[in-house]
Each structure stands twice: as C-alpha cells, then as structure tokens.
A and B are shown apart, each in its own frame.
Chain A
Amino acid sequence: DSGVTQTPKHLITATGQRVTLRCSPRSGDLSVYWYQQSLDQGLQFLIQYYNGEERAKGNILERFSAQQFPDLHSELNLSSLELGDSALYFCASSVGGGGLPNEQFFGPGTRLTVL
C-alpha cells in the first residue's frame, strides 16, 4: 500500500459526459501528479501540482483540468469525453520539496471506460 488513494476505482460513462477523479496523496507529500495510461502503453504525464499551485503541464488536453485543494487532495476533471479517453488514470505523490530524488508513489488508479 503506497498510501495514495484514488476514487473511484472504476468508472463507466458515455461519450460527451464529464467525470471527476479524486486523489489523496501520502501524508506529508505536497506534490501530486496525474498520468494517463492507455492499454499496453507507457505513462503519459498530464499535470503536476505542488502545494496547491500548478507546477508543470504535460500532454493534457484542453478538455481536461485539475486542481489541488488546501487539504492537498486533488481532482482531475475530464469533460466532453471521447472513446479515446478510455484509459487508466493514475495519481502519484511525492514530497516535492526539491533537493531530493523525486520518488513518486502511485495510487491504484481509476479505470475509465467511455462507451
């Protein structure tokens, strides 16, 4: 158990809909990362937050957005869903304080299926 929690574990929805994925980082971690992993693919970095502020963006679509709240949990919002958005979405957290190897700890993921 990494200490990172994600909900829900599974999500099935229809094209055009909007969903919200939730992540709680490990206790003490200030950075949260969101990744997308399609079937048999590597990890695609979406976005990073550090202590409530957006720090870095990767290949995140304009239809997707995220935020990190004062209690450090994070939400990833996916809207106008398309079939191609079906994937595993992982949240990871790290201490993120700099000066350290950036070791990331992953949650169990949310499997999104868009029908």
Chain B
Amino acid sequence: TQLLEQSPQFLSIQEGENLTVYCNSSSVFSSLQWYRQEPGEGPVLLVTVVTGGEVKKLKRLTFQFGDARKDSSLHITAAQPGDTGLYLCAGGPTDSNYQLIWGAGTKLIIKP
C-alpha cells in the first residue's frame, strides 16, 4: 500500500517568515500534486509536478519533486496571513492513472 506522510502536521509562524512543508513516501509516484484548503471549502489544486527533480514556482511558493519521485516539498517565502490553510499533497500511483494517494495534510497558520 502506498502512503504519503506529510510533515509537520501543524505549523504556526509569524508573517514574513519562511517555511517548508514535506511530503514523503517509500513509493514512487508518477506525479505529485499540492492542494490548499481553506476552512469549510474544497481543496484547490496549486500545482502538479511529474518529472523527478522538477521545480515549479507560483509567486512565493516553490514546489519540488524529488529526483526519485518519492517525495516533494513546498517552500513558502515571506509567508503572509493569506497563506493560512490546510496544505495537502496527493500522489498519482504508478499503477493507476485514476487514483490519488492523499497525505493527511499540514495545517498552516500565519500570524500577522
């Protein structure tokens, strides 16, 4: 069974600080997605990475897919209160194009 572990589970930092959230597995994934969810709303897709070593930037957010396609990280520079939310990673199994394996999420709070 493929699993994705996210760390930390919870992170509370001050506005302006940098942070990194991790998504790790012992299994290889064909793709890795990051979603952000605000309270009471559905998750919103932020980015998809598909190539080992791939780096994608979305304004102050930098996403990296590990060389072996087993892990990923999300780095936020100069965090803002608007970044507050639950960050979920989801991996596409190599034996299925239809399913996603979900991490449990990192709850991020950015204090003004």
**Are B104 and A42 interface neighbours, CB within 8 A?**
yes
Interface residues on B, range: 20 to 34
**Are B98 and A55 interface neighbours, CB within 8 A?**
yes
For A100, the chain B residues whose CB sits under 8 A away are: 97
**Are B40 and A111 interface neighbours, CB within 8 A?**
yes
Partner of A43, one of B43, B45, B98, B99: B43
Closest to A105 in B: B45
**Are B44 and A103 interface neighbours, CB within 8 A?**
no
Bitwise interface map of B from 1 to 42 toward A, beta carbon under 8 Å scored 1, else 0: 000000000000000000000000000001101000000111
Q: Is B88 an interface residue (CB 8 A)?
A: yes
**Known pairs A101-B33, A101-B92; A42 contacts B40 (CB<8 A):** no
Tell me, in angstroms, the Cα distance from A50 to B40 when the chains sit together. Answer: 27
**Are B98 and A48 interface neighbours, CB within 8 A?**
yes
**Known pairs A45-B102, A99-B97, A101-B50; A108 contacts B42 (CB<8 A):** yes
**Are B88 and A102 interface neighbours, CB within 8 A?**
no
**Known pairs A42-B102, A101-B33; A106 contacts B97 (CB<8 A):** no
Tell me, in angstroms, the Cα distance from A30 to B100 when the chains sit together. Answer: 16
**Are A88 and B40 interface neighbours, CB within 8 A?**
yes
Q: Is B66 an interface residue (CB 8 A)?
A: no
Tell me, in angstroms, the Cα distance from A52 to B82 when the chains sit together. Answer: 39
Closest to B31 in A: A101
The 10 closest A-B pairs by CB, nearest first: A106-B42, A101-B31, A42-B104, A98-B97, A42-B105, A101-B48, A106-B43, A43-B102, A90-B42, A102-B92
Q: Which A residues fall within an 8 A CB radius of B?
A: 2, 4, 31, 40-43, 45, 48, 50, 55-56, 88, 90, 92, 96-109, 111
